[in-house]
Chain A
Amino acid sequence: MIHKFATGLLFSLFLVFPAYASSGDKKAGEVRYNKTCINCHGPAGKGAASYPKISGNEVSYTKTKLETYRKGEEIGPNSALMIMMAKPLTDEEIANLAAYLKDAKYENKN
C-alpha cells in the first residue's frame, strides 16, 4: 500500500516537474554543441576570445539561460547573438545541451 502510494507520488512529481523526468542526451548534446556553439564558446564550452565558459553549470542553469534567450529576452551585451542562436532550439536540444555542458571538460590532446 505504501509502496504504491510512494510510486504514485513519485509519478505525479514527474508530471509536475517534467524537467527532472526527462534528462538530456549528453552525446546528442555534444553533437549539437559542435554544430555552432563551439565557434564562440570553444571546445567543451571552455570559453574563447570574449565569449564565456559555459561548461560546469547545473542543468537547470543552462536550460534557463537558453530558454530565456529563445523567448527573445536580453540578458547580457551579447544577447542579440544568443537570441538568434537560441531561437531555433527545440526543448529536446536544450535538454541535451544542458546535459552535455554540465560535465563537459576540455581534454588537451596535444
Chain B
Amino acid sequence: MNMFKKTMLIVTASAAMSMGPVLNALADGHGNKGMNVPTIEASALMSGLENPWDMAFLPDGTMFFTEKCKGLSVRTKSGSVNALYGMKGSKGYSAAGNDLFCDGQAGMLGVVADRDFAKNRTLYVYSTSNKYHGSGCKTNFERCDGNIVMRFKVSSDLKSVSDRTDIVKDIQYKPFKSNQPFGGPGAHNGGRLRIGPGGYLWVTGGDRHRGICPQDGTLLCGKVLRIDGDGNAHPDNNPPAGFDKRIYTYGHRNVQGIDFRPSDGRAFTSEHGPWHNDEITGLVNGGNAGWDPAEKRGGRSACPDKYCGYEPNQKEGMNPAIRSAYTPMSDTRFKDLMPSAWNNNGFSQGTGSAAFLKGSNWGIYEGRLAVGIMGIAFGGTPAGSRIDMIDITTDGLGIKGIVRMPVGATKRFRGLVMGPDNALYAATDEGEIYKITAK
C-alpha cells in the first residue's frame, strides 16, 4: 500500500473512531444523562435599569425587582412595569419611604415573596434606612442601626403595596468613610433575602467595616439570620450562648448570596472575600464562618480604624496567599468554624450571588450552584466577571467540578434567581436583567 493510501486509511479510521461516540450521543439525545449537555442561551429581558439588585418571582412569571437607589418595582407577566415603592428622592412610585436611602454599596437590596404569597400577598424587602439610627451613628466605632427588613402587602392588581411593617430594625450600617480601600460609607451590608425550608426567611449580612462585628453575638452585622415573617427567631436556631437568637450563623464578611440545596435543603452562602478567598460555604446551625477582622486578635496588632479586613499593606496589591494568613476568611483558630466548599483558588473577584439550578432542562448541570462573580481587577487579580456552575460534594466541604456558564457576555452579575420557568435570571450592575435558558 503506498503512503497516500496508508495515510488516507489512518485518517479515515481515526475519523470513524472519533465520530462514533459523537454520533451515539446524538442518537441517544436526552435519554443518557451523562451526555446531556444543554444549550445555554442568554438574552436581556430588561435593560436600562439602575443597579438592579435582586428579583422575586411568582409562579405565573410575575417578577418583582429592586433598584439600589430607586426602589421596588414589578414586571407583570404581560411585560408592563409598575413602580411600587420608592426611596428618598426617587420619582414616579405609587408610594415611597423617605427613610430609605442609598450610599455606596448600601440601598434597597434583597427581595423575596412569602411562600404563601397566593394567600397572603406578602413580600419582604431589605433596605438601608435612617429611621432607627437613634442616638447611634455618630462615629464609625459605635452601634449604628441602619439596615432593615420590611414586609409589605401587594395589591391584587400589582399596582401598589401597603401595610409596610419593619420586621427587622436593627442590622448595623456604616455611617462614615474610614481609612480603608473602598472605605466609603455604606460598605458591606449583605442584603440577600430568601425563603428556606419550612417557609422561614433568611437574611444575609455584612461586617459594615467594623472589626468587632462578625464575632459579636449581640450585633447583627456579619451574620446570617433565620426568622419568621414577623421577624422572630426560628425556634431551632442554635447560636452560642448569649447571642441574639435570630442568628443562624456568624463570622461572615459580606454575604450577598444564599440558596438551599434541592437534595437536602442545606443552606449554602456565597461571600465576597477581601483581597483573597471568595467563599462558597455550606452552613451549619450555629456555625462560625471564621471571619474576624478585629484588631489586636488572632496574632494581629492595631489596624487602620480598628479594622484589619484589608491588612497587611491594605493600599497596595500583595500575593493573596500571604495576605490571607494575616486576616483569614476562615480562621482555623475557631473550633466551630464552617470550612468553605470552594475559595475561588484563593482569589477575591467579587463573588456575589448564588442559585441552585433547577429543572431537567439543565441536563448535567441540574443541581449545581450557579454563582455570579463581578471582578474589579485589583492588584493583579484578573477581573473574571462570569457565572460559574459548581458541583458541590455531598458533605458540602469541597467541589466535584466547576464549569463556566457560556453566557456569551462579560457582565457584573449581581443577582441570580431561578425563575418558575426553570430559566436562570441574572441582574447585572450594568443595568440589565438577563434571562438564561437551558434546553
The yes or no answer to B160 lying at the interface (CB within 8 A) is no
Q: What range describes how many residues of A lie at the interface? A: 10 to 19
The yes or no answer to A10 lying at the interface (CB within 8 A) is no
Residue of B nearest to A110 (CB): B44
Shortest B424–chain A CB gap in Å is: 17
Give the contacts of B40-77 with A (CB-CB under 8 A): 43-44, 47-48, 51
Q: Is the CB of B374 within 8 A of A49?
A: yes
Q: Is the CB of B182 within 8 A of A39?
A: no
Q: Is the CB of B182 within 8 A of A108?
A: no
The yes or no answer to A40 lying at the interface (CB within 8 A) is yes
Residues on B with C-beta less than 8 A from A46 are 430-431
Interface centre among A40, A43, A76 (most CB of B within 10 A): A40
Interface size on B, residues (CB 8 A): 33
The yes or no answer to A80 lying at the interface (CB within 8 A) is yes
Residues on A with C-beta less than 8 A from B185 are 77
Please measure, in the bound complex, the distance between the C-alpha atom of A76 and the C-alpha atom of B183, giving whole angstroms: 9
Residues on A with C-beta less than 8 A from B383 are 36, 39
Residues on B with C-beta less than 8 A from A40 are 376
Main secondary structure on B side of the interface with A: loop
Residues on A with C-beta less than 8 A from B316 are 80, 84
Cβ contacts A58-100/B at 8 Å (1 or 0 each): 0000000000000000001110110110000000000000000
Residue of A42, A76, A108 touching B47 (CB-CB under 8 A): A108
Q: Is the CB of A39 within 8 A of B430?
A: no
Cβ contacts A2-34/B at 8 Å (1 or 0 each): 000000000000000000000000000000000
Q: Is the CB of A48 within 8 A of B181?
A: no
Residues on A with C-beta less than 8 A from B374 are 49
Shortest A71–chain B CB gap in Å is: 14
Given contacts A39-B385, A49-B51, A50-B184, contact A77 B315 (CB under 8 A): no
Please measure, in the bound complex, the distance between the C-alpha atom of A83 and the C-alpha atom of B383, giving whole angstroms: 17
Residue of A39, A43, A80 touching B315 (CB-CB under 8 A): A80
Residue of A nearest to B177 (CB): A77
Residue of A49, A80, A110 touching B105 (CB-CB under 8 A): A49
Q: Is the CB of B105 within 8 A of A50?
A: yes
Residue of B43, B375, B430 touching A43 (CB-CB under 8 A): B430
Shortest B412–chain A CB gap in Å is: 6
Residues on A with C-beta less than 8 A from B118 are none
Q: Is the CB of B379 within 8 A of A48?
A: no
Residue of B314, B412, B414, B432 touching A80 (CB-CB under 8 A): B314
Residue of A nearest to B107 (CB): A50
Shortest B183–chain A CB gap in Å is: 4
Residues on B with C-beta less than 8 A from A108 are 47-48, 431
Please measure, in the bound complex, the distance between the C-alpha atom of A49 and the C-alpha atom of B412, giving whole angstroms: 9
Given contacts A42-B430, A49-B414, contact A110 B177 (CB under 8 A): no
Residue of A42, A76, A78 touching B429 (CB-CB under 8 A): A42
Q: Is the CB of B47 within 8 A of A39?
A: no
Given contacts A108-B48, A110-B43, A110-B44, contact A81 B104 (CB under 8 A): no
Q: List 30 A-B contacts (CB under 8 A).
A: A36-B377, A39-B385, A42-B412, A42-B430, A46-B431, A48-B429, A49-B374, A49-B412, A49-B429, A50-B105, A50-B182, A50-B186, A76-B184, A77-B177, A77-B185, A78-B181, A78-B182, A78-B184, A80-B181, A80-B314, A81-B181, A81-B376, A81-B378, A83-B315, A84-B317, A84-B378, A108-B48, A110-B43, A110-B44, A110-B47
Q: Enumerate chain B interface residues (CB-CB to A < 8 A).
A: 43-44, 47-48, 51, 104-105, 177, 180-186, 314-317, 374-379, 383, 385, 412, 414, 429-432
The 3 A-B residue pairs with the shortest CB-CB distance in the complex, in nearest-first order = A80-B181, A77-B184, A110-B44
